[in-house]
Amino acid sequence: MNWEYLRGLPLIYQIIIVALVILGTLYSIILHEIAHGYAAFIGGDPTAKESGRLSFNPIKHIDPIGTLALPGALILLNSIFGMHLPVFGWAKPVPVNPMNLRTKRDMTLVSLAGILMNFAIMLFMLLIIFIIVRFIPGAMFLLIAFILIGAINILLIVFNILPLPPLDGFNFLLSVLPAKQAGWLDKNKKILFGVLFALIFFGLIQYIYTPVFWLYEQLINIILRS
């Protein structure tokens, strides 16, 4: 995401945009984890609920590095130096005990719940953007903030859907593959994690999320022209 366009706005608008985006990023990550815990609870595992992890209180979900330091550093680098680094992070993982789940399908739903939550948030951002364009056309700073929050949720979807540990896509594969194939994946988790690290470190992940961002931009353009 490019933050260059913020420089043409009054300082107060820049501050509001950055604050909204940071808050939106934080709660997008937290809601992602709550969705995992709630899906597990519906499936028969009360572990997350009993540990207080279905709460909207951010303190219960904050991971000092994944929730605060890393996303904040990436946002600052993009803002100050005009870089195009993907902004991502993680909350403290919600505890799930697969042994408490009623069926294997419940584990599949737990794996998908976080991604579906981010998809729902992205759709909600599109609705807010539509409302701003139609009814508050002068609130350009709000428009920018919600477009960015929507983009961050797309990034969270694309990132988490990768079939690599410890991401949701990997857990989804473990829940749907036959025992032999799932066992092979689980046995080679360290190697597959190295693949994920390489994708991030060498910037290769941009080739995955760039086409998805392009589609998102087309949706935004349709709304702006409506």
Average of pLDDT values for 144-151? Answer: 96
Say how far apart CA 110 and CA 12 lie, in whole Å. Answer: 41
Q: Would the pLDDT of 2 be above 70?
A: no
* Tens-digit pLDDT profile for residues 69-96: 877 887 788 778 877 666 666 788 899 9
- Whether the predicted pLDDT of 113 surpasses 90: yes
Q: Distances in Å between the alpha carbon of 40 and those of 25, 126, 157?
A: 23, 28, 19
pLDDT of residue 73: 84
Indicate yes or no: pTM above 0.75: yes
Residue 134 predicted with pLDDT over 80: yes
Query: What pLDDT score does 89 carry?
Result: 66
Residues 146-171: what's their mean pLDDT?
95
Point out the least confidently predicted range of 97-106, 187-196, 199-208. Answer: 199-208
Provide the pLDDT for residue 4. 61
- Round to whole Å and give the CA distance between 159 and 207: 12
> What's the rounded mean pLDDT across residues 45-59?
93
Amino acid found at 104: K
What pLDDT score does 205 carry? Answer: 85
Report the pLDDT averaged over residues 46-56: 94
How far the first Cα of the chain sits from its last, in Å, is 24
Q: What percent of the chain has pLDDT over 70?
A: 95
Q: What is the mean pLDDT of the chain?
A: 90
CA 98 to chain centre: 23
> What is the pLDDT at residue 5?
63
* The pLDDT of residue 27 is above 80: yes
**Domain residue ranges of the chain, discontinuous segments joined by +:** 4-224
Instruction: Read off the pLDDT of each residue in 22-31 and give the average, rounded to a whole number.
Output: 91
Q: How confident is the model over 174-195, as a mean pLDDT?
A: 95
